[in-house]
Amino acid sequence: MSKLNEQAIYNKEFNVEFKGYSTLEVDTFLDQVILDYQYFNFELQKAKEIIQQLQQQNALLQSKLIEAQGKANVLSNVDNNINQVDLLKRLAKLEQEVYNK
State residue 52's pLDDT score: 98
- Give pLDDT, residue 101: 60
Query: pLDDT (tens digit, 9 = 90+) per residue, 40-78?
Result: 889 999 999 999 999 999 999 999 999 988 888 877 766
Q: Which helix (H) or strand (E) holds 94?
A: helix 23-100
pLDDT at 26: 84
Q: Check residues 86 and 61 and name the one with the higher pLDDT.
A: 61
DSSP 3-state assignment of 73? helix
Strands (DSSP E) contained in the chain are 16-17, 20-21
pLDDT of residue 8: 78
Beta bridge partners of 20: 17
The mean pLDDT value for 17-32 works out to 83
